[in-house]
Chains A and B, each alone.
Chain A
Amino acid sequence: MIDEFTQLSDLQLDALREIGNIGAGNAATSLSMMINRRIEMSVPQLTVLPFSELPYAIGGPETLVVGVYLQVQGMSPCGILFLLPLESSLKLAEMLLAKPSGSLKVMGEMEHSALMELGNILAGSFLNALAMVTDLELFPSVPSLATDMSGAILSAAVFSLGEVGDHALLIETRFTEDNQQVVGHFLLIPEPGSLDVILERLGVNS
């Protein structure tokens, strides 16, 4: 049982990075098709953070972001969080709802629905790829959306990890457009027990 994310070997970290790569690659393709634009993705970053540093993990703790969060149940429970800068979420909502560029100033109910659906599709694409590689059955919850401080959103997404450990493992992939503008951060947050299951399926369980 991997109790602490700090005990992972290099081989295991590489395997998880590859999972992030395959999953986020699939999600980026879906996003690209939905908005009909080219989306670049970064190499997935694996970060193991003590809770005390977590609110500072993406942007600053008080940076205004939109977070779409899903809980994944099944053989390896985890959280999926899609974090977007506010400008990016407005822009994505414009594209999804076929509104003129620059016309949206605030996020309304329609915009929330559109982004939740986007989160749904991205999470589905990510999990499909993950399931394909690991043969695990995974069931995402309905998405939930919050517009608030990055720190508050991140901390709300990891609280269940606190029952067993003192660290969070974030598998983060950044989506950017051609012009380098950040579209969003896609995060997979495995729960400690589920990491064992994933690593075993990948044949790198110690």
Chain B
Amino acid sequence: MARVVQVGMADYKAAVCPNILMTAGLGSCVGVCLWDPATRIGGLAHIMLPSSVQARRTDNKGKFADTAILAVIQEMSRLGANPARLVAKIAGGAQMFNFGGTTDIMRIGDRNAQAVQQVLKNEKIKILFSDIGGSHGRTIYFMTENGKLTIRTIEHGERVV
């Protein structure tokens, strides 16, 4: 029986087949799903901020794109995944509130998405699919069994990629 593993905001988890990784209510945050097709081990990070470099405290690795992706890769390796085989699907990075300016809050979704893409590039992980931006929330389910990602929204329906 597949178990649904919930991943909270600023958190990350790895899971083995056939378990399903899930995170609810992605707004400006980005959900990064990693998968090793050979072992069918999956990982999911719910990233809140682009970078730990400027942060005063960085002990919570799950918060930042740079630290969370590395942490989830490590967790997956511990379960037997090979980092060289990983592929990625990403969703989120929306702009929930629009203040009609160019303040940081206006761009946080974008900045998160860009940071995620950069880290994945550095780690040589191919992005197979991305659903980024817009102004709507997303809830995602990631199947370790086949690497499929289900994205649920309120206004834009549901799709499986």
Could you tell me which A residues sit within 8 Å of B by CB distance? 3, 50-56, 60-62, 64, 67, 69, 71, 141-142, 144-157, 159-160, 162-166
Question: Contacting A148 at CB < 8 Å: which of B9, B96, B100?
Answer: B96
**Across-interface contacts of A150 in B (CB, < 8 A):** 25
Question: Contacting A62 at CB < 8 Å: which of B11, B24, B104, B155?
Answer: B24
> What CA separation (Å) do A165 and B58 show in the bound complex?
9
Which residues 112-142 of B have a CB within 8 angstroms of A? 135-139
**Across-interface contacts of B29 in A (CB, < 8 A):** 155, 159
Chain A's closest residue to B64 (CB) is A162
Contact B137–A159 (Cβ < 8 Å):
no
Contact B10–A152 (Cβ < 8 Å):
no
Chain A's closest residue to B97 (CB) is A144
Nearest CB in chain A: distance from B81 CB, A: 23
Contact B25–A154 (Cβ < 8 Å):
yes
Contact with A along B78-121 (1 / 0, CB 8 A): 00000000000000001011111000110010000000000000
> What CA separation (Å) do A52 and B154 show in the bound complex?
22
**Across-interface contacts of A50 in B (CB, < 8 A):** 8, 10
- The verdict on B159 contacting chain A, using a C-beta distance below 8 Å, is no
Could you tell me which B residues sit within 8 Å of A by CB distance? 8-11, 24-29, 48-49, 54-57, 60, 62-63, 94, 96-100, 104-105, 108, 135-139, 152, 154-155
**Across-interface contacts of B27 in A (CB, < 8 A):** 148-149, 151-156
10 closest residue pairs by CB, A with B: A151-B25, A152-B137, A52-B8, A152-B27, A61-B25, A156-B96, A61-B24, A149-B137, A55-B25, A144-B97
> What CA separation (Å) do A151 and B26 show in the bound complex?
7
**Across-interface contacts of A3 in B (CB, < 8 A):** 57
Listed A/B pairs (12) with beta-carbon separation below 8 Å = A50-B8, A56-B24, A62-B25, A71-B99, A146-B135, A151-B25, A151-B26, A151-B137, A154-B27, A155-B26, A155-B48, A159-B108
**Across-interface contacts of B108 in A (CB, < 8 A):** 156, 159
Nearest CB in chain A: distance from B6 CB, A: 9
With A61-B25, A141-B99, A162-B48: A152-B11 Cβ-Cβ less than 8 Å: no
Nearest CB in chain A: distance from B110 CB, A: 12
With A142-B99, A162-B49: A156-B24 Cβ-Cβ less than 8 Å: no
> What CA separation (Å) do A3 and B54 show in the bound complex?
16
Nearest CB in chain A: distance from B57 CB, A: 7
Nearest CB in chain A: distance from B134 CB, A: 10
Chain A CB within 10 A, most for which of B11, B29, B108? B29
**Across-interface contacts of A153 in B (CB, < 8 A):** 27, 96, 137
Chain B's closest residue to A151 (CB) is B25
Contact B48–A160 (Cβ < 8 Å):
no
Nearest CB in chain B: distance from A53 CB, A: 6
**Across-interface contacts of A156 in B (CB, < 8 A):** 27-28, 94, 96-97, 105, 108
Nearest CB in chain B: distance from A154 CB, A: 7
**Across-interface contacts of A56 in B (CB, < 8 A):** 24
Nearest CB in chain A: distance from B8 CB, A: 3
